[in-house]
Amino acid sequence: MKARHLLISGLVQGVGYREWLVNAARAEGLAGWVRNRTDGRVEALLCGPEPAVAAVLLACRRGPVAARVDAIEESFAEAPSEPGFFRLPSV
């Protein structure tokens, strides 16, 4: 299992990015979460088999049609304690 913490910047709030990421992660069977941050970025935790995490991470660089991704800060992370992929409240 591979777990990654992401901070995604650009035009990523108000364009359906979180819902898009929930759908993409669930389609690949990933665990984790996504949420908006008050600094304008989207934060996410992706966890699952390495090929699935890599596929979603690659898709995150494009995002949904209305989004513009400028950068993704990626770091190793601990696996979430719960199965499933969720949208969390903003922080």
State the DSSP H helix or E strand holding residue 32, giving kind and residue range, or none if neither.
Answer: strand 31-36
Active site (annotated) includes residue 35: no
Residue that the structure tokens 């800060």 belong to: 73
Q: Which of 36, 61, 68, 87 is catalytic?
A: 36
**Alpha carbons 60 and 9: distance in angstroms, whole number:** 11
Written as six digits, the tokens of 80 are 């979430």
Q: Which of 4, 18, 41, 61 is catalytic?
A: 18
Whether 43 contacts 35, CB under 8 Å: yes
Active site (annotated) includes residue 36: yes
Q: Using the 8-state DSSP alphabet, how is residue 4 labeled?
A: E
Among all residues, which ones are annotated catalytic? Answer: 18, 36
